[in-house]
């Protein structure tokens, strides 16, 4: 239990962050794909207290996703092969967005496509969204499409094409990139050059589990994406390397973050804000809890503004 004076002290910490043109009152968000499409988590926490709610990736059309099983626990994490199941942007706007707005959330919409044109159609369907939609996270890095072999985020040219094709909607674009490439910095630079206001680092790490009795891949989609604490050092390294190379490009950090100290680590590496993903499946109120703990961490460490942590790693 925290004392009244600890709570009062922590309340003085400025938790606001700036991500390109987007001002958020706090740095913690849900990670796409781990908090549903709408206000599902509002039963567990106050969505309006978070920096933003990032919804699962949507395409222009409805999409069925991959066969079951779709998730499996791994040592210090989990492997998923959801396969981008979703209702499509128009149905989401009609059925899910109103509840998010009602809950007071700031909303970041994640979009995906199989082609540049698909992305453009998804972006078009977001035209004239209510002002509560503060940004679009362009997911260029799903590991569960076409066997994970043709990720847009593994190619600077393809990344730039998608961002150019989605820029017509006029909403801030965040490019969600992949750790599964040795060209991460080049891809991030291409995204920035093509108009991304920020990059979200990282999506899941390509992985696979084989059932040794049946000798078949355990997930219905074959391979999958690894997430959870196991990948946090991968995220820290990716964020660090991109921040060192492109210090003016805001980074939204994501990858194995489950505690305030984890969030501090991602911010010291270079993140301006932090998303929580797999931890939501363990504790659905994780994002609000981590944000509250981060506020107290800042106060107890003499950090008056959380944004001061960004890029604060010492060499
Ligand atoms: O739906 C998925 O299978 C999925 C997506 Br869109 C993604 O971006 N990352 C991931 O691990 N799974």
66-97 pLDDT per residue, tens: 999 999 999 999 999 999 999 999 999 999 99
Residue 139 CA: nearest ligand 1 atom is 8
157 within some domain: yes
Quickly list DSSP for 216-254: EESBTTBSEEEESGGGHHHHHHHHHHHHHH-TTS-EEEE
User: Distance from the CA of 27 to the center of ligand 1, in angstroms?
Assistant: 22
Closest CA to 15 of 311, 298, 301: 298
User: Distance from the CA of 194 to the center of ligand 1, in angstroms?
Assistant: 23
Cα–Cα distance, 33 to 56 (Å, whole number): 4
User: What digits encode the pLDDT tens for the residues 236-283?
Assistant: 999 999 999 999 999 999 999 999 999 999 999 999 999 999 999 999
294 within some domain: yes
72 within some domain: yes
Closest CA to 73 of 202, 218, 255: 218
SS percent in the chain: helix, strand, coil, step 5: 35, 20, 40
Residue 196 clears pLDDT 90, i.e. is over it: yes
262 within some domain: yes
Average pLDDT estimate for 117-128: 97
Instruction: Check 129, 142, 257, 298 and give the catalytic one.
Output: 142
315 within some domain: no
Cα–Cα distance, 312 to 310 (Å, whole number): 5
Residue 57 CA: nearest ligand 1 atom is 6
User: What digits encode the pLDDT tens for the residues 30-41?
Assistant: 999 999 998 999
Using CA atoms, how far residue 167 sits from 56, 127, 149, 159, 175, in Å, is: 20, 11, 26, 12, 12
142 is catalytic: yes
* CATH number, position 265: 3.20.20.70
pLDDT band, residue 124 (cuts 50/70/90): very high
213 within some domain: yes
- Which of 62, 79, 80, 152 to mutate for ligand 1's pocket (most ligand atoms within 8 Å of CB)? 80
81 within some domain: yes
Domains held by the chain: number: 1
Average pLDDT estimate for 200-205: 98
Using CA atoms, how far residue 140 sits from 102, 178, 194, 206, in Å, is: 29, 8, 14, 14
Residues in the ligand 1 pocket, defined by CB under 6 Å: 33, 57, 80-84, 112, 139, 142-144, 203-204, 225
- Which of 57, 140, 175, 224 to mutate for ligand 1's pocket (most ligand atoms within 8 Å of CB)? 57
- Taking all residues of the chain, what is their mean pLDDT, rounded to a whole number? 97
Is the torsion defined by CA of 253, 258, 262, 264 positive or negative? positive
314 within some domain: no
ω into 7 cis (within 30 of 0) = no
Residue 81 CA: nearest ligand 1 atom is 3
User: Distance from the CA of 84 to the center of ligand 1, in angstroms?
Assistant: 6
- What is the extent of the structural domain holding 156? 4-309
Q: What's the distance, CA 150 to chain centroid?
A: 20
- Which of 64, 144, 154, 176 to mutate for ligand 1's pocket (most ligand atoms within 8 Å of CB)? 144
């Amino acid at each position: 239990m925290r004392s009244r004076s600890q709570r009062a002290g922590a309340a003085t910490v400025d938790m606001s962050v700036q991500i390109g043109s987007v001002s958020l009152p706090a740095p913690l968000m849900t990670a796409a794909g781990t908090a549903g499409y709408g206000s599902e988590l509002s039963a567990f926490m106050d969505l309006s207290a978070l920096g933003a709610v990032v919804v699962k990736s949507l395409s222009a059309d409805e999409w069925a996703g991959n066969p079951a099983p779709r998730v499996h626990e791994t040592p210090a994490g989990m492997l998923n092969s959801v396969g981008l199941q979703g209702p499509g942007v128009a149905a989401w706007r009609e059925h899910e967005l109103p509840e998010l707005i009602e809950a007071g959330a700031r909303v970041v919409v994640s979009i995906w496509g199989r082609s540049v044109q698909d992305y453009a159609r998804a972006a078009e369907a977001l035209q004239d969204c209510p002002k509560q939609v503060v940004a679009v996270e362009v997911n260029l890095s799903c590991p569960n499409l076409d066997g994970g072999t043709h990720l847009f985020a593994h190619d600077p040219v393809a990344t730039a094409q998608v961002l150019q094709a989605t820029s017509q909607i006029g909403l801030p674009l965040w490019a969600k990139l992949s750790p599964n490439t040795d060209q991460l910095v080049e891809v991030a630079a291409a995204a920035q050059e093509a108009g991304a206001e920020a990059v979200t680092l990282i999506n899941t790490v390509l992985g696979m589990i084989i059932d040794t009795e049946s000798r078949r891949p355990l997930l219905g989609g074959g391979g999958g994406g690894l997430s959870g604490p196991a990948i946090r050092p991968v995220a820290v390294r990716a964020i660090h390397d991109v921040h060192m190379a492109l210090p003016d490009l805001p980074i939204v950090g994501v990858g194995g973050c489950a505690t305030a100290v984890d969030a501090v680590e991602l911010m010291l590496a270079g993140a301006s804000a932090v998303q929580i993903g797999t931890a939501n499946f363990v504790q659905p109120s994780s994002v609000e809890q981590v944000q509250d703990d981060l506020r107290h961490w800042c106060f107890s460490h003499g950090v008056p503004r959380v944004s001061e942590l960004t890029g604060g790693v010492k060499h």
